Structure 1
């Protein structure tokens, strides 16, 4: 369990909450008035809504980072009802003649005294997929099998969830782009499964340090392929921010271990590609005054997510050098097509572009799509920040890329 600070415990938590409330009551009305004049907005190209929404979002993230406010995770269906499912981890199959190896191998191998596979939740969009769904049947030219997007939500491994409140906008992006303009295909064009992988913070004493999220990603992918009978070629790994980091870790794992077949593609939104960037460097970047992500959130996330050591020889400060944690350190040798979106003003833009070059050197088929003037993580924040049209166009570009219609 991570060390807590003064502001994560009472009475510090209460005091900082009161301070933030007073700060918001004073600062936000002033900004709302100030931003009516374009020259006073952080970026002239932003609308009044975009400038104000960015300020509000940044304030919320700063508060959450200081008090380390992480959402509780539960396996109750809630308002998602039958769209929320629980997914059990996999155990090796055994009989008298054969013992199949565990799907959790190498860096994801369970540690009896620490991190091991656990039961997780997940939310389906627009409805649950079952073995009888079209994706599990033979396809025809008239009704091809739909894609199944396995989407890992963002939040720096400490925030957000798989529920509607965080994922509905992004899921609509994927489903809408996949259905296109064909009304007959719209009903079965795609499904989205968003797993509730374990978070890492003091609010989760069961432990969410690496490789907990990777184990949960393996569980959810195997659930699609082994339990539901989805053809792996119909699965698209998807993720925003930390979820993009997790999608890349899963793709690397599948390529290196060969324990499960490869997916048909990967779609990444502002993926977190380098967890080793110093806090001072992040604060010095021009984008820090334009983005929604405060460097303090990155500091908190790394402190509670990174393990003290890894089984492959990376220890201490070198943990973040592991390519499973910082994919910029080594490209993935894969033929799986990768589409990646970046925001023009996001603080980790240069890290993503460094990873793009590393991945190109590994021979990957890769496409980069930039949303100009956009902050970090449009998949989750695009609606609230006023980039709905731009996000829709990005999702459509991703589908064209996956279809080979570049």
Structure 2
């Protein structure tokens, strides 16, 4: 492994000023994107990671595999060539920033821990492409995996963080409503599922109220905030697949995530809810650097792997 772990307090001390400067509502969006891409170079890929560029639904994407999944995996996952499905990953960033680059390390670690092919999508971002452009791209990518790559809907998990988590939920709702398709599971890391809600906290270690409200306005553009998919928390949750939700108790989105979990359970959806203490918003991005973040990502990977392949192949011998 090329991971170099640093203590949790040191990671917090280093990341706090970086995010205060980078995710600032007065900083031009293009500069935010560039700074995040550069900073992500410190988040290394695990040994054996294979990144394959491709197109999904007409958008740039990456298929990420981990050839050495078994020796270091915390989940006891099967080898990649025996995996039963795939994960479509939608990155976070307030629908405004984030990229294949910023999330490549997270996606590679998820591939390693789940032993699934993880497809990371470069969906269109606001303000250049407001809602529903990103959702349209995600829908097209999922249908491409089914129609052209050959997966069945129930062999594909949807996963994402922050805005990507909200986009994953909105995609699951759209697939169910428009196509009568249900993914195997949803894996949501601190999902932002209602951009219309004004946070009660001013900031956490990563995000702040002013920046998030600016992102929400960029994402909405001239659209209608009540349109289906913009705030999936307020949409129909009945019939959704098993869902994993993780959030740290210190996060600005903690209350919203708790509301989502309650609403999902009220709709009859099986939910695994994990609340961490001492981490930060989407700490899984630093899985290569922080042991606690890696463990949180492993838990998500195990949930998704079991949803796709509930019985181990070894148990069937």
Measured at CA, do residues 290 and 258 of structure 1 come closer, stay the same or move farther in structure 2, by a change above 3 Å? closer
**Residue equivalent to 2:113:** 177
- Of 84, 99, 104, the match for 2:53: 84
Contact 2:287 2:297 in 1 (8 A): no
* CA shift for structure 1 position 388: 3.3
* CA shift for structure 1 position 170: 1.4
Contact 1:54 1:385 in 2 (8 A): no
**Residue equivalent to 2:241:** 336
Q: Specify the SS of the correspondent of 1:320.
A: coil
* CA shift for structure 1 position 57: 2.2
Contact 1:341 1:368 in 2 (8 A): yes
More displaced 10-residue stretch of structure 1: 167-176 or 336-345: 167-176
**Residue equivalent to 2:178:** 257
Q: Distance in 1 between matches of 2:289 and 2:225?
A: 32
* CA shift for structure 1 position 387: 3.8
Q: Distance in 2 between matches of 1:335 and 1:386?
A: 32
* CA shift for structure 1 position 238: 0.8
Q: Distance in 2 between matches of 1:172 and 1:82?
A: 8
Contact 1:242 1:271 in 2 (8 A): yes
**Residue equivalent to 1:149:** 87
Contact 1:146 1:191 in 2 (8 A): no
Contact 2:113 2:301 in 1 (8 A): yes
* CA shift for structure 1 position 223: 1.0
Equivalent residue pairs, number: 276
Q: Specify the SS of the correspondent of 1:121.
A: strand
* CA shift for structure 1 position 147: 2.2
Q: Specify the SS of the correspondent of 1:225.
A: helix
Structure 1 unmatched ranges of 5 or more: 1-44, 73-79, 90-118, 128-142, 179-188, 310-318
1:42-87 deviations in whole A, cap 9, x for unaligned?
xxx951332232232222212x653223548xxxxxxx99811123
Contact 1:157 1:242 in 2 (8 A): yes
Q: Specify the SS of the correspondent of 2:269.
A: coil
- Of 11, 15, 23, the match for 1:49: 11
**Residue equivalent to 2:206:** 292
Contact 1:173 1:391 in 2 (8 A): no
Measured at CA, do residues 122 and 389 of structure 1 come closer, stay the same or move farther in structure 2, by a change above 3 Å? closer
Q: Does 1:124 align with 2:71?
A: no
Contact 1:267 1:338 in 2 (8 A): yes
Q: Does 1:305 align with 2:219?
A: yes
Query: What does 1:195-206 align with in structure 2 at a 5 Å threshold?
Result: 195-201=121-127, 204=128
Measured at CA, do residues 307 and 323 of structure 1 come closer, stay the same or move farther in structure 2, by a change above 3 Å? same
1:248-271 deviations in whole A, cap 9, x for unaligned?
111000111126x32111111111
CA RMSD of aligned residues (A): 2.8
Q: Distance in 1 between matches of 2:240 and 2:28?
A: 43
**Residue equivalent to 2:257:** 352
Measured at CA, do residues 81 and 350 of structure 1 come closer, stay the same or move farther in structure 2, by a change above 3 Å? closer
* CA shift for structure 1 position 301: 1.1
Q: Distance in 1 between matches of 2:196 and 2:124?
A: 21
Larger radius of gyration: 1
Q: Specify the SS of the correspondent of 2:151.
A: coil
Q: Specify the SS of the correspondent of 1:209.
A: coil
Q: Does 1:391 align with 2:264?
A: no
**Residue equivalent to 1:68:** 29
* CA shift for structure 1 position 380: 2.6
* Higher strand content, 1 or 2: 2
Measured at CA, do residues 360 and 55 of structure 1 come closer, stay the same or move farther in structure 2, by a change above 3 Å? same
* CA shift for structure 1 position 247: 0.6
Structure 2 unmatched ranges of 5 or more: 1-6, 35-48, 67-80, 312-317
